[in-house]
Structure 1
Amino acid sequence: MYKIKCSPVKTLFSRVMLVGVMCMSSITLAQQNDLKPETAADEQTLAQQLQQLKKEVIALNRDLFVLEEDLLFPSSTQLVVYLSMDVGNYFDLDSVEVKLDDVTVTHYLYTEKQQAALIKGGVQKLHLANLAQGEHVISAFFLGKGPHEREYKRATSFTFTKSADAKMLELRIVDSTANQQPEFKVVEL
């Protein structure tokens, strides 16, 4: 007897695909045969089964995404960069550009809704990557409107050491009421 050895991702992916195919084929078969439930109870049971299949597909898809992220970005090499904003009275964010060791890794433009979500306390995952151990420099460039509706371009840099553990950094835009200006910081989490 032969045993087939599959990776967890392939096995999970196979399960997601199987449930999805079963769900789609059941719907197609019912439509082709113009099958109608004989009673309201049959219709309700069929609807409940379909809902259950949808929930299983969603749960399996989520598990597959988490597993894929773990395989692509293992914690020993993982770097995650987040962005947060405090209040936003002195700065309206238009865009941010992030450089890692003088190489642009991400550039993001913001809509009014996204900016409002950040001001309400939202945190955005800006960048996820694999990074070798050692010393690195992250630089962030912020464009927007500052006090008195003037164009504002500010930058901040931070030198950090990547160890064997995952590294998380947060770019923070904080209002400084003392200076009536925004402050831009990079913080290790």
Structure 2
Amino acid sequence: MKKTSMLAGFMLLGVLAGSVQAEPADANIAADIVQVKRSVLELNKDLYELEEDLLSPATTRAAFYFSLTYGEFFEPLSIEIMGSGFEAVRHIYTERQVAALRMGAVQPLANINLGPGKHNLRAVIRGVDQLGQNRELVVEQQVEKTDKPLLLEFVVSDLAEQQSARAQLKFW
């Protein structure tokens, strides 16, 4: 697809070069060049969207996200999502990412292709609690993929009364 967009860009530049020779004013040339650049960028964007639609149609599109509510009783170090029909998704967190999650960020983890039907998901979120002890939060759930995109968020939230944290799966 990238070759196609580059070829289209060169063709537009060739057409512009032919029309530029007929116009003597530098201001008109600069305006034409800016317009061609915009056209090439728009064409490239359209080609990228078309490529995404062809490679990942809505019937197989699924996405995983991660969020942390407060994070006083749990600090994530890594997450691993496994399931039937796709390769495991793994991510290791940096201090900066954890700080952003504590401020309310929602992190996109992965976009995958997942066939319609029921799928068993298992997410293991490894981290440390407020005492510095290693801890694993596990979410196991069966989800059903329909012909619409499936958007799933793994949410880790504090349980203040128990001074602990829990993980759950949220459907968008």
Scaled to the shorter chain, the TM-score interval is 0.7 to 0.9
Partners of 2:71 and 2:102 within 8 A in 1? yes
Q: State the partner residue of 1:19.
A: 9
Q: Identity of aligned pairs, percent?
A: 28
Partner amino acid for 2:152?
Answer: L
Partners of 1:100 and 1:137 within 8 A in 2? yes
Match of 2:66 among 72, 83, 105: 83
Structure 2: where are the runs of 5+ without partners? 14-24
Tell me the TM-score normalized by structure 2: 0.76
Instruction: Give the distance between the partners of 2:85 and 2:124, measured in 1 at CA.
Output: 12
Match of 2:102 among 119, 122, 125: 119
Partner amino acid for 2:103?
Answer: K
Partners of 1:105 and 1:127 within 8 A in 2? no
Q: Map 1:49-88; keep pairs closer than 5 Å.
A: 55-88=38-71
Q: State the partner residue of 2:137.
A: 154
Displacement of 1:97:
0.4
Partners of 1:87 and 1:175 within 8 A in 2? yes
* Compared CA separation, residues 121 and 60, structure 1 to 2 (3 A): farther
* Compared CA separation, residues 70 and 103, structure 1 to 2 (3 A): closer
Displacement of 1:141:
0.7
Instruction: Give the distance between the partners of 1:121 and 1:63, measured in 2 at CA.
Output: 32
Instruction: Give the distance between the partners of 2:41 and 2:98, measured in 1 at CA.
Output: 29
Tell me the TM-score normalized by structure 1: 0.70
Instruction: Give the distance between the partners of 1:77 and 1:103, measured in 2 at CA.
Output: 11
Instruction: Give the distance between the partners of 2:90 and 2:48, measured in 1 at CA.
Output: 24
Partners of 1:16 and 1:60 within 8 A in 2? no
Q: State the partner residue of 1:94.
A: 77
Secondary structure of 2:96's match? helix
Displacement of 1:186:
0.6
Partners of 1:20 and 1:57 within 8 A in 2? no
1:185 and 2:132 correspond:
no
Alignment: residue pair count: 162
Partners of 1:140 and 1:157 within 8 A in 2? yes
Partners of 1:97 and 1:104 within 8 A in 2? no
Match of 2:121 among 117, 123, 138: 138
Instruction: Give the distance between the partners of 2:43 and 2:106, measured in 1 at CA.
Output: 26
Secondary structure of 2:73's match? coil
Instruction: Give the distance between the partners of 1:17 and 1:62, measured in 2 at CA.
Output: 14
Instruction: Give the distance between the partners of 1:93 and 1:16, measured in 2 at CA.
Output: 42
